Amino acid sequence: MRLELKHIHKHFGAVHANDDISIAVESGTIHGLLGENGAGKSTLMKILSGFIHRDAGEILLDGRAVAFKNPAEAIRAGVGMLHQDPLDFPPLTVLDNFLFGREDGFMQNRAGALADLQRFSRQFGFDLDPDALVSSLTVGERQQLEIMRLLSLGAKILIFDEPTTGISLPQKIKLFETLRLLAKQGMTIIFVTHKLQDAEDLCGKVTVLRLGKMTGQVTHPFTADQLVRLMFGQSLETRARASVALGEPILELRDICVADYRLRVPEINLQVRAGQVIGLAGIEGSGQRLLLRACAGLDQPVAGDIWISGARMNRQPYRDFLERGVAYLPAGRLEEGLVPGLNLTEHFILARRSREFFIDWRAAQDAAQSRIGEYSIRGVPASRVEALSGGNQQRALLALLQPNLNLILLEHPTRGLDIESTMWVWSQLLARRQRGAAIVFASADLDEIFEYSDRILVFSGGRVARALNAQETSVQQLGELIGGKGL
């Protein structure tokens, strides 16, 4: 199925999200759509898949003009989209979610759906329990479920919005193999990404957007520098990390054991000093999130002691962790970090934790405007957080942090962010490190782990390796530990 987008326009108030965009994608090809966060990539793809309506322009499928009123019409026409934030129902099971979108009538073919789910799971190397609640899945596992559900609906045009976010390297390799096979079979693949390496490895042609406009197209072979210049108008230079003298111990873990109903990780010992950065490496779901939540006071460890700045914090309420300067930024920005339906001003009011009975709304809006400018958030005080791009949601989360923190815990701090936003996020975190904050972060990106960590803690299958010096550790050694070798 050949796709053409002609002169697409879309406004959100004063924001011109898509400004006269025209793209043609041939059948049997993998077409990359690249751009910084907020460039208009997801908006354009939501228009194509029927989630939102365009203001002007045409969509042609095999030369026939179409206008979708909703995603169901798009699916029937052969267009399906995997969203960056998985669209699912957390209280229901994996199989129940997999069934959504099928037109089986009143009596659903659960046996057939289960067979399809298991077939796709084997194909991609995913390991999802059909009877598990989606609320128990990691962000990456929820995305895996959406990938399989989309393929099961038989779409001829497959839109993947940041599909490699949250999956392991072997899963990504298998996904790329599958996408290449689907393209050979005549499928039309649109691969939305901010990752330059993914675009180079997979896409035959790439269209680049910046601030809602198309800045150019390149055909393989192309270089990362070409893509960066189209995305940002200039090359981006990485800066060397400044050395920091380490201070007193901020976090001490003594024989900690964390667990949930699926996993138990015993005997974690770690000391983190002021100014130190600790990276937690491993396949997602190996215990990193459990440890971060325990260190933040959100969950209790099964055994062992947690010490914050010399105080034993076992069984202490979350409020006491906040008072000791501990902050936690989860991977699920809208699920856990922000409150959908509330605007930026309301978030900044909540973050103040003020005990005043009345709110000075004018002062709050002025403060919000100041924070928006300071953190370069593309929005206004009245912007609802769910309307922001992923990068701007992450900037909002950082803007909500208290000014003087001792320990910052982060789960995938740059997931879904473009290279410029990633560099900006880490510039903010490293500035806090220079002021004496300790940082512990989990990431599935080994490059990020190596670049920003002083020491690395490796999780694999319920076991944890001793903390490694990042400068003395090789990629091969880290990969073997993640795979369980040598633990």
Distance (Å, whole) CA 334 – CA 314: 28
pTM for this prediction: 0.68
For the beta carbon of residue 218, count every other beta carbon within 10 angstroms: 18
Pairwise CA distance, residues 178 & 288, whole Å: 29
Q: State how far the Cα of 287 lies from the Cα of 2, in Å rounded to an integer.
A: 44
Q: How is residue 262 written in tokens?
A: 């699926």
Q: Is the peptide bond before 163 cis (omega within 30 degrees of 0)?
A: no
Question: Mean pLDDT, consecutive 10-residue segments, the chain of 487 residues?
Answer: 93 87 94 85 92 94 92 91 82 93 78 91 86 84 83 87 72 82 89 85 91 89 82 63 85 93 87 95 85 94 94 92 94 89 93 84 92 89 88 90 93 81 88 94 85 90 84 78 70
* Predicted pLDDT at 144: 82
> What integer pLDDT is reported at residue 83 of this predicted model?
81
Backbone angles phi, psi at 428, to 5 degrees: -70, -45
Predicted confidence at residue 471, as pLDDT, reads 85
Whole-number pLDDT of residue 236: 57
* CA separation for the pair 342, 385 (Å, rounded): 7
- Residues sharing a CB contact under 8 Å with residue 194, sequence separation 6 or more, in sequence order: 34, 35, 36, 37, 162, 416, 417, 418, 419
Structure tokens, 425: 């996020």
Question: In the structure, how many helices (H) and strands (E) does the chain have?
Answer: 16, 21
Backbone φ and ψ for 335, nearest 5 degrees, come out as -75, -40
Q: What is the pLDDT of residue 139?
A: 67
- Integer Cα distance of 78 and 190 in angstroms: 13
pLDDT tens-digit map of 271-282? 999 999 999 988
pLDDT at 168: 64
- Could you tell me the strand order of the sheet in which 3-12 lies? 15-25, 3-12, 56-61, 64-66
Q: What domains appear along the chain, each with residue ranges and CATH number?
A: 3-232 (3.40.50.300), 238-325+403-487 (3.40.50.300), 337-401 (no CATH)
**SS3 state at 101:** coil
